[in-house]
Amino acid sequence: MGLKTVEWIPASSKALIPGKLRMIEQTRLPQELQFLETDRLEVIWEAIHLLRVRGAPAIGVAAAMGVVAGIQQDDAETSAALVSAVNRTADYLATSRPTAVNLFWALDRMRRVASENQHLNVPALKERLAREATAIRDEDAAMCRAIGEHGVTLLKDGWTILTHCNAGGLATAEFGTALAPVYVAKERGMNIRVISDETRPLLQGSRLTAWELNQAGIDVTIICDNMAAKVMREGKVQAVLVGSDRIAANGDVCNKIGTYGVAILARAHHIPFYALAPSSTFDLSIPHGDDIPIEERHPDEVVMGFGRRTGPEGVRVYSPAFDVTPAEYVTAIVCEKGLVRPPYGPGLRAIMEKQAT
């Protein structure tokens, strides 16, 4: 897994500023591995909005770096003016997508660092913010690694896991969340196979998950979303591993549309269902999953997907990008600090207090 999904590229080795954001252009996959390099705030906003960079943790990293890109040329003469520019830039980036809490978490962290470091002069404060954004990236990579170490304890050699959407290296700084245990298992010589739901309408499961697993030499089989019940009934799946965009205080798990159905199927077939996410995905300010804002996407993604009309013009389309799996269907939640099992209310609060292991 050498993929650098999103990173900051400084112009010189002397300082982080000036620099550019470099990301894998995920809408081009699996046809070609192309990179988008930019220092333009509007281009970064659009990249998040159009899913050129996507997956909750990767969006958070891109947004933090987007703040740096947005303020690096700012002509603020005082640190207080620069803090205002940071807040304005963060407000703008916060409108790019509504559901993944990592976006808001990362932007809040950038706002806080700006406000707490107003004693620095303007160039030093800009450099400090760039350091924070790269730290968010590096910490995410480390968290994913730790999720993999904890998650692999749930797997047995020879198992096949089913996953939905892409919660792999492409969705994070590196390594992934739901796929992290699979990569760790491979490093340890275990044989884990993956069944990847195609994930309509944007096909993250077949375009991205299957691509990155294939690159890593992991056995992966693509199925259409409506085949999951059959493969489960055939005994082909021993565990379901998914990522998350936001986990509410009661353990309800918001993830890519279709995840809820997979969880119900897993329960019906007595298959454990695990959600894997860094603690930056936990939103304990939201008591219940029903309160999580769910993004609705453009109808064309459903009826004009990838440039081909598959539904009549003018027909109404409903396209929520995410759904919420009630906590009762979730066997365990895995984060960088360990495993949480029901009851999730006290479990999530306790693990948030705990140091990472």
State the residues that interact with ligand MRU by CB under 6 A: 51, 54-57, 100, 165, 167, 171-172, 177, 204, 243-245, 255-256, 321
Question: For residues 132 and 138, what is the distance between their CA atoms, to the nearest angstrom?
Answer: 10
CB of 97 to ligand MRU, least distance (A): 7
Total number of residues shown for the chain: 357
Nearest to 31 by CA among 223, 216, 203, 219: 203
* E strands, the chain, in order: 6-10, 19-24, 35-38, 160-163, 193-197, 220-223, 239-242, 246-248, 253-256, 273-276, 282-283, 322-325, 332-335, 338-340
In the complex, what is the shortest distance from the CB of residue 290 to ligand MRU, in angstroms, rounded to a whole number?
18
Question: Measured from the CB atom, is 111 or 256 closer to ligand MRU?
Answer: 256
Side by side, the strands of the sheet bearing 239-242 are 220-223, 193-197, 160-163, 239-242, 273-276, 332-335, 338-340
State the number of CA atoms in the 13 A half-sphere of 199 facing the CB: 27
Shortest approach of ligand MRU to residue 124 CB, angstroms? 34
Question: CB-wise, 172 or 196, nearer to ligand MRU?
Answer: 172
95-132 in b/e form (b: 16+ CB < 10 A) is: ebbbbbbbbbbbbebbbebbeebeebebeebbbbbbbb
Nearer to ligand MRU, 39 or 323 (CB): 323
* Nearest residue to ligand MRU, by Cβ distance, number only: 243
* Tokens standing for residue 84: 């205002």
Closest to ligand MRU by CB, 193 or 207: 207
In the complex, minimum distance from the CB of residue 52 to ligand MRU, in angstroms, rounded to a whole number: 11
CA–CA separation, 294 vs 240, rounded Å? 23
Q: Is 59 left (phi over 0), alpha (psi -120 to 50) or beta?
A: alpha
- Backbone φ and ψ for 33, nearest 5 degrees, come out as -90, 100
What's 288's DSSP letter? S
Rg over CA atoms, the chain: 20
Q: Report helix, strand or coil for 73.
A: coil
- Smallest separation, CB 232 to ligand MRU (Å): 19
* Nearest approach, Cβ of residue 116 and ligand MRU (Å): 29
| Shortest Cβ 195–ligand MRU spacing (Å) | 15
C-beta of 122 vs 143, nearer to ligand MRU: 143
258, β-bridge pairs:
none
Q: Which is nearer to ligand MRU, 255 or 279 (CB)?
A: 255
Q: Is 290 a catalytic residue?
A: no
Torsion angle of C-alpha atoms 61, 290, 325, 154, degrees rounded to 10:
60
* Catalytic site residue from 39, 140, 197, 245: 245
For ligand MRU, which is the closer residue by CB, 192 or 241?
Answer: 241
Q: Which residues are catalytic?
A: 245
